[in-house]
Amino acid sequence: MKKQSEAMIPTPNGVFRMIAYADDNKDLMPHVVLVHEDLDSYDNVVMRIHSECLTGDLFGSKRCDCGEQLDKALQIIGEEKGILIYLRQEGRGIGLINKLKAYQLQDTGMNTIDANIHLGFEPDERDYEVASEILKDLGVKSVRLLTNNPEKVNGLNEYGIQVAERLPIIISPSKENKAYLQIKNDLMGHLLD
């Protein structure tokens, strides 16, 4: 995993250096990193690791809270001069084709965990080694991580990045994503209260 290219990108939340990380420069789905132009310390950096959710991030799907979490995180990262790592972990690592199959199963009454298992996957296939490698490459030593998912905290600690603090990023449930958020809270270890 290494830096393949970078450029400055002005956004509504500030100017960021966008860096594309991949194993080689032909990769069509590089991981995307946004580093605030005024980031000045590599200790206790405010940051988010966001798992790709095309449906929520780009199209505003109401089935999940991803799009709203991304907006809120970028706002905070803009204010605090932090970093966003956008990992290509669509569908908790099963990809878009399988996520849509999982959604179809959920529309017949299965929950988000059982749908993954029914398709032959773990409930969550993600790993945070790549994110840790990227943080080390950037020179980041410790972070304040925007997440409700303790697995992300453990994942970074496991690979040698110190999580100094977890910053919750709670979105009010809507009627469409209420059941999904309830499962995350009750069965997937997310801290949503």
Ligand X SMILES: Nc1nc2c(ncn2[C@@H]2O[C@H](COP(=O)(O)OP(=O)(O)OP(=O)(O)O)[C@@H](O)[C@H]2O)c(=O)[nH]1
Binding annotation for GTP: 48-52, 69, 90-92, 112, 147, 152
* Binding residues for ligand X restricted to 113-132, rule: CB under 6 A: 116
Nearest to 34 by CA among 134, 148, 158: 134
What gap in Å lies between CA 63 and CA 16, rounded to an integer?
29
- Interface residue with ligand X among 33, 45, 47, 66 (CB under 6 A) is 66
Q: Does 30 bind ligand X (CB under 6 A)?
A: no
Is residue 21 within 8 A of residue 33, CB to CB? The reply is yes
Nearest to 86 by CA among 33, 135, 133: 33
Q: Does 149 bind ligand X (CB under 6 A)?
A: yes
132 binds, among ligand X, Zn ion, none (CB under 5 to 8 A by kind): none
What gap in Å lies between CA 134 and CA 16, rounded to an integer?
16
Closest CB to ligand X among residues 52, 76:
52
Long-range contacts of 54-61 (CB under 8 A, 24+ apart): 54/90, 54/96, 55/99
Which range in 7-15, 25-33, 49-57, 128-136 contacts ligand X by CB under 6 A?
49-57
What gap in Å lies between CA 187 and CA 181, rounded to an integer?
10
For 14, phi then psi, to 5°, come to: 125, 180
* Binding residues for Zn ion restricted to 59-88, rule: CB under 5 A: 64, 66
- Interface residue with ligand X among 35, 53, 105, 143 (CB under 6 A) is 53
Amino acid at 94: I
- Interface residue with ligand X among 91, 138, 144, 161 (CB under 6 A) is 91
Could you give the string, one character per residue 6-45, with x where binding to Zn ion holds by CB under 5 A and - elsewhere?
----------------------------------------
* Count of residues touching Zn ion (by CB under 5 A): 4
